[in-house]
Structure 1
């Protein structure tokens, strides 16, 4: 069970630190309020890279159903482990989001904007356009998955190298193309916290925007699988 726990705790750390960055800069009365987009990008990048370094030797540090499914599609991960990996990723993301709610408990009530509160937990489009939003998440996840496979294909022995490169990939995706949809790139990263937003008693929250929720689930899965197949054919 150790590798499953690695996925659960890794995604929990990822969301606690990553969504914590968003809460830190956006919720009222936070000392970091207004720190900006670059702060979120750097914070989320490290929120991915640090758990990758910690849990990579234990579980492979997928932390993302799109990665797990992409690896399984090209024979680099056993299909029989896929359901439990995805379940652990979802549970870890939910718990991480719940920890963010607890961490910032007094700040929800003094933050009036419902969209700001939802944005702490999950992504949403800058301009709502189903086709454009889908393509944005598809392409971003394609690049992420292709780059992850590229890192795994190198001969570097130091696991810190892989963790650093993954963090840099996340950072450049956020700064480069993340402004269109908030760059979910990960079904569990978006859906787990969105469920947490729906069920937790967050002061003054609005709806959880379920009409949009399928895009950051389906598009990353399609992008991850497409990237894995393309990488497999190329290399």
Structure 2
């Protein structure tokens, strides 16, 4: 899955939209309970993988590019398609949930108060990076596409439950960027001040996974 064909880009955009709409939408419909969001994300990730086959997550694509299974130009195009899909997912939440959804922030990621500065901020970056690292390694272990559905869904759910109290669990830059942009378009209380935290932490986790997974796998075999 290393080439950015039109069908691949379309599948990535649609799959990411599905992942964001159903996964993040579960938080809005459920009134914010963490377990509801984790279960919704798990189901959405599995369904998207089975239907479309793809990464649906810029960090997974970046990790694959670092490892060499996706070329860099193709990877950049795939990431662009995923960001578009994330935005479409955010717009679908706005369409379905209306002003109530906007008032709930369309599920946009927010750091906890403790994670906004100092040691708490470092902890937030480490938490996101570690979660992305694990998810990317799971993808490498099981392969991407249709086969990754349940495995990645469980990894997303576990990551959400583990770090949501600190970072509201981004794990996927399209999931962070899309709802935030949709919230801005909808005239809601958007906040772009912490977007760099999710960008930097996710990139760190993805790059480390791409570099270290082959060595970790080799050491275990």
TM range (shorter): 0.7 to 0.9
Instruction: Within 5 Å, give how 1:10-159 maps onto structure 2.
Output: 10-26=15-31, 36-56=33-53, 61-108=54-101, 111=103, 117-118=104-105, 120-126=106-112, 127=114, 128=116, 129-152=120-143
Question: Runs of 4 or more off by more than 4 Å in structure 1?
Answer: none
Distance, in Å, in 1 between the alignment partners of 2:195 and 2:162 is 23
Query: Structure 2: which 5+ runs fail to align?
Result: 1-5
Deviations 1:136-172 (A, max 9, x none): 111111111111111129xxxxx76521111111112
Indicate the SS of the match to 1:185. Answer: coil
Q: Contact 1:187/1:221 (CA < 8 Å) preserved in 2?
A: no
Q: How many residues align?
A: 207
By how many angstroms is 1:42 displaced?
A: 0.3
By how many angstroms is 1:175 displaced?
A: 2.1
Q: TM-score, normalised on structure 2?
A: 0.87
Counterpart for residue 156 of structure 1: none
Q: Contact 1:64/1:187 (CA < 8 Å) preserved in 2?
A: yes
Q: Contact 1:186/1:217 (CA < 8 Å) preserved in 2?
A: no
Backbone CA RMSD of aligned residues: 1.9
Counterpart for residue 199 of structure 1: 185
Greater CA radius of gyration, 1 or 2?
1
Q: TM-score, normalised on structure 1?
A: 0.82
Query: Structure 1: which 5+ runs fail to align?
Result: 27-33, 112-116, 154-158
